[in-house]
Structure 1
Amino acid sequence: MTTLEGTIPEQPKDQGPSSAEPADDGKRSSRSLIWRRFKRHKLAVVSLWIIIAVYLIAIFADVLAPRPAADYNPDYPYAPPQSITVTDPGDGRGLGLYVHGYTQEFDEVSWNRYYTENPDELHKLGFFVPSGHEYRFLGLFETDRKVFAPLEPDAPFYLFGADANGRDIFSRAIYGTQISMSIGLIGVVLSLIIGITLGALAGFFRGPIDAVIQRITEVFMSLPTLPLWMALAAALPRDWGPLTIYFAITVLLSLIGWTSLSREVRGRVLTLRSEDYVVAARLDGASRARVIRRHILPSLTSHIIASVTLAVPAMILAETSLSFLGLGLQPPIVSWGVLLQEAQNIRSVITAPWLLIVPSAAVVISTLALNFLGDGLRDAADPYEGAK
């Protein structure tokens, strides 16, 4: 634009927010805000990926485990772990992944077997090779392919060693993931239903209903946990099948693990029942069940998710403890607790420590990851965390 004083440059038009920095219009959902705060917790994010990997191992255990859980070889009791080597032996085998065989020496005085690596015996490994043991992949079709196994189905292959019957500890630990991790989820779901129902009823109705529920909760909380588990597990009939015992142990753990969640839900419901939107819903004629289901419980979603992730490791440790004491799951079911129970003898501790190390490491890694994940979700779901 030109004036008497000269030329005035035109002002640039307002083009809105830059595409490189999208504007935050303040309309983020609570879910997106929780996820945004959760990503700041680096240890919780790493733990989330670990838990996802553990559950993927449980889902695809049949194809990941080199051998079936019950497959045994009496020629290799207490075989030590093998190391994988990358070598070209020069005898026509070609470059690839190999494990060395064993040379055994038997001491007739102590009746012990001593294993040494045989450098002249090599067994080549491959990916997606036939194992000779058929299974139904995810219940869809029959196959015998394994992700990583020897090309020779009968070759000794013990990455984490073998037990007294020559069974592969690596394969059994993978199959144990299915039971130990699923019993935690199933148990938490059942205790979640009981805890949320009783906690919501106690906090919303108060009065005599609250008093009765709180006395029941206090009775369960006053009982010593481990002796109670032992008594309930010992009361199970010994003639029950493995699957029946599995579900019975899951139900027992659920009947004991709901008390803390019920107390927490009751406290939150007592606070929320006097909120304006809850009072407005009641004045609008909504039934009590609808107010609890549609207005109060959705406000507890983030807190419940955090509680679940912290309760799962407690369930896993409870099952492991019972099975270790011989009162929980029993063979032929394979869980981490069963593996620990089978290794509780002096010979395993001295001559075959891998029998204890492998399932113990699985329990420690899984429970720590779940605890860190629960801490991250709890911090992310805290409304005061987002105001910092």
Structure 2
Amino acid sequence: MQTQPSTQPTNQSLNPNIKKKPDTLTKITISKFMKNKLAVIGAVLLFIVITLALFAPLIAQFEPQKQSLLNKLQTPGGEHWLGTDRYGRDVFARILFGARVSLLVGFASVAGSITIGTVIGAVAGYFGGKIDAVLMRIVDVIISIPTIFLLITLVTIFQPGVDKLILIFALTGWTFTARLVRGEFLSLRTREFVLASKTIGTRSHTIIFSHILPNAMGPIIVSATLGVGGVILAESALSYLGLGIQPPTPSWGNMLQDAQNFTIMLKHWWYPLFPGLMILITVLSFNFVGDGLRDALDPKTLD
């Protein structure tokens, strides 16, 4: 016996005025981000750079530190896609492995600085008073010291290296995040949900990290994204000055430092061009993504 198809009208046909569920905050944020063409381009470029860095051992045809003086300063093409340097090392392989170093320093340093800045800013903004005054004076003292001189001094004292650079950048780069988080907490600590939590006796650390901090994550994410590009640029500058990552470990900065000879830069253009281009593309991409996230997470534009 065949069953007849149901002819019962749906709720939507009975009431055409029923509206679909409103989009969630996540969908709205993603939609706004995708409308920013520069941010999308930056995200795609970063995905490519990070993928190349992660799979560098599988992609590179040569060891980044392998020297071959018979093949030095070869033009791009053939086996060496981006040419070779003055020691015969493959530039493409060194760029791939240099990306691993630069991105590691960038991400690890920012993770450390964001953590320190978030904790200090949250404590200062939540408690206020003398605690806020003391912590902000410490921030003012650190900010008053020129960053480049502070970095050079610390690197000179502790000797350059990947682990030491990460530690130095983390310990010197948290002040902006601290001020940013403090401002957010000063605004959020007077909200009804915070006052209600205090009324029922919720502990301060629970209110700070479980109630207020999730509502302040937007600016923190933007700060972290912009910070990675800044750290990569600073690491490249230190390495270019000979105070960062030391050869033979490749980084984009020390590749530029190795190619700074005027004659080499004129006759062998590929030697400084490609690492410089990678720094430019990566830093710009982080900035584009950071700007896109800032606009997408802005509550004033989430309509």
- Normalising to structure 2: TM-score of the pair? 0.93
- 1:266-300 Cα offsets, whole Å, 9 max, x none, are 00000000000110011111000000011100001
Structure 1, unaligned runs of 5 or more? 1-11, 83-98, 100-156, 239-244
Name the structure 1 match of 2:21.
25
Name the structure 1 match of 2:127.
205
Name the structure 2 match of 1:76.
71
Offset of 1:260 from its aligned partner? 0.7
* 3-state SS of 2:299 partner: coil
**How far apart, CA to CA, are the structure 2 residues paired with 1:33 and 1:292?**
27
Correspondence for 1:160 among 71, 82, 95: 82
Q: 1:24–1:49: structure 2 CA closer, same or farther, 3 Å change rule? A: farther
How many equivalent pairs are there?
293
One-letter amino acid of the structure 2 residue matched with residue 211 of structure 1: A
Q: Does 1:185 align with 2:181?
A: no
Aligned pairs for 1:271-350 (under 5 A) are: 271-350=187-266
Correspondence for 1:379 among 273, 295, 301: 295
**How far apart, CA to CA, are the structure 1 residues paired with 2:97 and 2:40?**
26
**How far apart, CA to CA, are the structure 1 residues paired with 2:191 and 2:175?**
25
**How far apart, CA to CA, are the structure 1 residues paired with 2:279 and 2:120?**
31
Name the structure 2 match of 1:366.
282
C-alpha contact (below 8 Å) 2:53/2:96 kept by paired residues: yes
- Normalising to structure 1: TM-score of the pair? 0.73
**How far apart, CA to CA, are the structure 2 residues paired with 1:303 and 1:31?**
15
Correspondence for 1:65 among 43, 60, 64: 60
Aligned pairs for 1:93-132 (under 5 A) are: 99=78
C-alpha contact (below 8 Å) 2:180/2:219 kept by paired residues: no
- 1:303-345 Cα offsets, whole Å, 9 max, x none, are 2111111110001011001000001110121111111111111
Correspondence for 2:116 among 194, 202, 213: 194
Offset of 1:15 from its aligned partner? 5.2
Name the structure 2 match of 1:225.
147
* 3-state SS of 2:205 partner: helix
One-letter amino acid of the structure 2 residue matched with residue 376 of structure 1: G
Structure 2, unaligned runs of 5 or more? 1-7
Name the structure 2 match of 1:258.
174
Offset of 1:73 from its aligned partner? 1.4
Aligned pairs for 1:27-66 (under 5 A) are: 28-66=23-61
Q: 1:24–1:184: structure 2 CA closer, same or farther, 3 Å change rule? A: farther
Displacement over 4 Å in runs of 4+: 12-15
Name the structure 1 match of 2:12.
16
One-letter amino acid of the structure 2 residue matched with residue 30 of structure 1: L
Pick the structure with more helix per residue. 2
One-letter amino acid of the structure 1 residue matched with residue 142 of structure 2: F
Name the structure 2 match of 1:88.
none
Offset of 1:347 from its aligned partner? 2.4
Instruction: Identify the structure with bigger relative contact order (alpha carbons < 8 Å, sequence gap 6+).
Output: 2
Offset of 1:33 from its aligned partner? 2.3
Q: Does 1:248 align with 2:126?
A: no
**How far apart, CA to CA, are the structure 1 residues paired with 2:159 and 2:100?**
24
**How far apart, CA to CA, are the structure 2 residues paired with 1:266 and 1:161?**
49
**How far apart, CA to CA, are the structure 1 residues paired with 2:200 and 2:21?**
32
**How far apart, CA to CA, are the structure 2 residues paired with 1:80 and 1:381?**
46
